[in-house]
């Protein structure tokens, strides 16, 4: 037999193993599906998971790079006017800031941001007492993390829509692999020590044994977390995922209204670009801040948001961690451009579908519980990256074993 035909025979046996006597047809087909899908998309899943793990500590790395600008030697005894901070930023950069954040900690300075879609933007720091611009985040740091994010979401492809579809499809396949792995993992009923064996690890044995146990058993330990991360990832690409996760929680009348509004929007002709410029604010920001604090009477990082995604008018946003799990939830107080109070939007008062929708992204990125959930998300991402690697190792070991057996 020629080497070519021998290799072909080995590959065929490795991809189409014989059905075991005690194995059901369903599990046999499921095993082949799990194997083939894993071999095809395993590398892509590994890449998505690794880039995701690199992005987890974006804010911490950025803050570390400008540590001296953020941290004060001593806590501030007073706080400067927000209008002074805005004026100093505009004088330094000739741009109106989009967001001014006052940290809860009095030994931290004020963060001022000007954001641009797809670009690093400007992040500067103002002295908490004087409002003087004392430092700036190097554009290279957010540029690096933007690249990581583009790689994670659409492989930084020029045709980002195609890249997003590929990423989402592979993530969906990853969920299929997790579910099929769970079904294959379940032990046979009546078998002695079946459940105990499924929860044991062979770390004291050779590498191939603990690699197998890590792939199979640890995959089950982390199953629910990996499913949640994958689901919240494809939420941003597939409309049907959003419908299941958020829109299904809306009252029937709101769902009909949203559908009607979407149809009208799709039929509307694009404007000729004669949009009016946003009017300048006619109010003192400190006045808005004082009024907002009357409604948000608790401690937390506070942001003055002048524009940005979902922000059409001045909004005061406060981070609220005063809950059972310490989750980072946000309350908003919205004003008109003339300073009239428009709405007090507290997280606890929002309908369920809005609460769920606002938590999708922080759950996916690991920000929902602060640093502790970020550490967990980082470890989980690394394990998600190792799952296909361990699967490849198991398959190549069998392939090597068949090759040695064939040549013997």
134-179 per-position pLDDT tens digit: 999 999 999 999 999 999 999 999 999 999 999 999 999 999 999 9
Task: Tell me what pLDDT residue 276 has.
Answer: 40
Which stretches in the chain have pLDDT values below 50? 1, 270-279
pLDDT digits (tens, 9 = 90+) for 293-333: 999 999 999 999 987 666 778 999 999 999 989 999 999 99
Tell me what pLDDT residue 274 has: 40
Residue 197 pLDDT = 62
- Please give the pLDDT value at position 271: 47
In contact, 317 and 302? CB cutoff 8 Å: yes
DSSP 300-345: S-EEEE-SBTTBSS-EEEEEE--STT---EEEEEEE-TT--EEEEE
- Euclidean distance between CA atoms 265 and 259, whole angstroms: 10
Please give the model's pTM, rounded to 2 decimal places.
0.88
Cα-based distances in Å from 123 to 21, 114, 117, 141, 314: 64, 6, 14, 11, 19
pLDDT of residue 275: 41
Q: Which helix (H) or strand (E) holds 181?
A: helix 160-185
DSSP secondary structure code for residue 236 in this structure: T
Domain ranges (residues) in the chain = 25-65+156-186+203-250+351-408, 67-137, 285-344
Task: Note the pLDDT of residue 117.
Answer: 76
């Amino acid at each position: 037999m020629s080497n070519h035909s021998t290799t072909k025979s080995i590959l065929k046996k490795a991809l189409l193993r014989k059905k075991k006597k005690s194995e059901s047809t369903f599990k046999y087909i499921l095993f082949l599906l799990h194997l083939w899908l894993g071999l095809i998309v395993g590398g892509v899943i590994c890449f998505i998971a690794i880039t995701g793990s690199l992005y987890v500590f974006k804010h911490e790395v950025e803050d570390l790079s400008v540590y001296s600008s953020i941290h004060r030697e001593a806590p501030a005894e007073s706080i400067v006017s927000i209008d002074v901070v805005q004026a100093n930023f505009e004088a330094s950069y000739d741009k109106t800031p989009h967001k001014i954040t006052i940290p809860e900690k009095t030994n931290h300075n004020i963060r001022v941001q000007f954001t641009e879609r797809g670009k690093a933007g400007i992040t500067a720091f103002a002295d908490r007492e004087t409002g003087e611009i004392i430092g700036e985040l190097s554009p290279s740091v957010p540029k690096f993390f933007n690249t990581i994010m583009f790689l994670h979401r659409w492989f930084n492809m020029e045709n980002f829509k195609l890249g997003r579809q590929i990423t989402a499809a592979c993530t969906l396949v990853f969920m299929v692999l997790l579910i099929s792995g769970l079904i294959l993992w379940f032990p046979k009923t009546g078998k002695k020590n079946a459940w105990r064996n499924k929860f044991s690890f062979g770390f004291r044995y050779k590498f191939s044994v603990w690699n197998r146990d890590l792939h199979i058993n640890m995959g089950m330990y982390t199953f629910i977390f990996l499913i949640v991360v994958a689901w919240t990832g494809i939420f941003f690409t597939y409309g049907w995922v959003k419908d299941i996760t958020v829109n299904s929680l809306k009252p029937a009348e709101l769902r009909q209204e949203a559908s009607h509004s979407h149809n009208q929007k799709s039929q509307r002709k694009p404007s000729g670009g004669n949009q009016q410029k946003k009017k300048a604010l006619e109010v003192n920001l400190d006045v808005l801040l004082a009024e907002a604090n009357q409604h948000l009477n608790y401690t937390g990082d506070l942001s003055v948001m002048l524009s940005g995604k979902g922000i059409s008018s001045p909004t005061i946003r406060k981070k609220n961690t005063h809950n059972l799990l310490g989750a980072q939830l946000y309350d908003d107080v919205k004003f008109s451009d003339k300073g009239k109070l428009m709405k007090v939007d507290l997280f606890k008062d929002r309908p369920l579908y809005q609460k769920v929708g606002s938590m999708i992204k922080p759950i996916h990125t690991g920000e929902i519980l602060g640093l502790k959930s970020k550490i967990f998300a980082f470890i989980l991402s690394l394990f998600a990256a190792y799952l296909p690697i361990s699967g490849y190792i198991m398959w190549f070991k069998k392939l090597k074993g068949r090759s040695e057996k064939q040549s013997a």
